[in-house]
Amino acid sequence: MLKTSIAKNDPKITNAWTMYDWANSAFSLVIASAVFPGYSDSVTKNPDGTSEILFLGSTIKNTVIFEYAASLAFFLIALISPILTAIADYSGRKKAFMQFFCILGSIACFILILFKDLSTIHWGILGYMLGLIGYAGSVVFNNSYLPDIATDDQFDRLSAKAFARGYIGSVILLVVSLALIIFRKDLGIEDGSIAPRISFALTGLWWIGFAQYSFYYMPNNVYQKEAKGNWFFNGFKELGKVWQQVRPLKYLKMFVVAFFFYNMAVQSVMYLAPFFAKEEIKMEEQALILVILIIQLVAIAGSYFFSAISNKKGNSYSLRVAVLIWIIICVWAYFVKEQSSFYGLAGCVGFVMGGVQSLSRSTYAKLMPETTDTASFFSFYDAADKISTALGIFVYGAIHHFTGSMRNSVLALMGFFVVGLLVLLLVPSKKSYQKEF
């Protein structure tokens, strides 16, 4: 057991760690999934109501612009994350890096206040991209705390608890935002763009505000490292050292490959489902919000359900079940046309979404050897997460752009799930993998 400056499984620390999901999930739901997609679509249409707009000299569908923007944001964070995590591990300043990305994401929410019509689309793209970078950047450092603060028998439970809190917290803020939007006239707000923009500001305040609780209790420099010399140069050396540790870890590498493929599809669904419902199912804004609420609330149960399966059958087994259900969902989504059926589909999506997200994080943590370079180790997981997210969204957006239908994009997602499932079959299903090393 590696010597740390804290006792593992300390309730105050683990509680603070799970609360960061409560803080940052507000961005993922309110901005990335619920309010911003519909808002950006409505305010960037041409005066005649058409969606094909002139952007950087080319005619492109307004929703596709934000699909590509999201893809670029995730590519950027995937490029910088490994070196930043290595520097954080070498210097022992992991919490400072996490705080930086949290502040960046919060500021991005306020930048979105400037996005009010087609002429200010540049502020919308900038705020959206910086918000995604802040969100994704802080998450990799937060994830890497899990093996620092808990023993591996607690990974599944804590990961599920964190995701559940994230879903609950984000739903609370979404309800507040929706009340503001729906009852704006009663509040004396005549301009329809003001209420959504206020909700973006509320999201930034929620994120940075509740994160302070996590930052207060979460430890800094757990392994009491003393940084000497050039941080940047030594960060590269640290990353190289971690890569040498990763090379012989067969199951960890297999899992990352499986995760890469099925995550391409999972993240695409998370970020683009509202666009699909709006364009293919012709859902109105209020019905769309109901779908998102269903997904979030059912995901809470899904997180704990798949954690329970993992406790009995092992992590890989539980993930295989979840990915198999995802494949069925893709087939269902391709054919669904009625709103009533889409509600059932949304419930299934939420159920497996919560399970696959929480288990993926805890499974990777279990596959890691004992190490003081937890942020660097998680940077490989994070790189797979962000690159696969970027590729998944890009492929989804490209197929949508060239075929004119998101249903064709869904077939590509199904293919990613199939490949992920096949690779998962090669990873043994166990409650703990630490003894493998």
pLDDT score of 13: 94
Strand partners, 346: none
For residue 210, give every residue at least 6 positions away whose Cβ sits within 8 Å of its Cβ, in sequence order, or none.
19, 22, 23, 169
Write out the two tokens for 378.
């998680």
CA-CA distance, 159 to 358, in Å (whole number)?
5
Q: Which residue in 156, 160, 137 sits closest to 18, CA to CA? A: 160
Residue 154 carries which DSSP code?
G
Assigned domain for 170 exists = yes
Strand partners, 54: 59
CA-CA distance, 385 to 152, in Å (whole number)?
21
Assigned domain for 178 exists = yes
Strand partners, 59: 54
Domain count across the chain: 1
Phi, psi of 53 (to 5 degrees): -115, 160
Assigned domain for 298 exists = yes
For residue 73, give every residue at least 6 positions away whose Cβ sits within 8 Å of its Cβ, in sequence order, or none.
128, 129, 130, 132, 133, 136, 390
pLDDT score of 376: 73
Distances (CA, A) of 100 to 105, 107, 134, 225: 9, 11, 8, 20
- Please state, as a whole number, how many other Cβ atoms lie within 10 Å of the Cβ of residue 362: 25
CATH of the domain at 308: 1.20.1250.20
pLDDT score of 407: 84
Domain span including residue 30: 11-219+232-436
- Which value, to the nearest 10 degrees, does the dihedral of the CA atoms of residues 122, 77, 274, 52 take? 40
- Please state, as a whole number, how many other Cβ atoms lie within 10 Å of the Cβ of residue 436: 14
Assigned domain for 52 exists = yes
Assigned domain for 4 exists = no
Write out the two tokens for 270.
């998370």
pLDDT score of 243: 66
CA-CA distance, 411 to 56, in Å (whole number)?
30
User: Coil, strand, or helix at residue 300?
Assistant: helix
For residue 301, give every residue at least 6 positions away whose Cβ sits within 8 Å of its Cβ, in sequence order, or none.
351, 354
Assigned domain for 2 exists = no
pLDDT score of 436: 47
Write out the two tokens for 208.
């940075």
CA-CA distance, 111 to 83, in Å (whole number)?
27
CA-CA distance, 361 to 378, in Å (whole number)?
9
Q: Which residue in 353, 389, 394 sits closest to 160, CA to CA? A: 353
Distances (CA, A) of 205 to 139, 173, 354: 18, 11, 25
Distances (CA, A) of 53 to 41, 63, 73, 399: 11, 10, 22, 18
Assigned domain for 103 exists = yes
pLDDT score of 21: 93
- Please state, as a whole number, how many other Cβ atoms lie within 10 Å of the Cβ of residue 230: 11
Task: Give yes or no for a contact between 174 and 292, defined as CB atoms under 8 angstroms apart.
Answer: yes
Task: Give yes or no for a contact between 325 and 269, defined as CB atoms under 8 angstroms apart.
Answer: no
Distances (CA, A) of 213 to 5, 25, 107, 262: 20, 15, 19, 33
Residue numbers in the chain where pLDDT is lower than 70 = 1-5, 54, 57, 90, 223-243, 271, 274, 285, 430-437
First to last CA, the chain: 13
Assigned domain for 1 exists = no
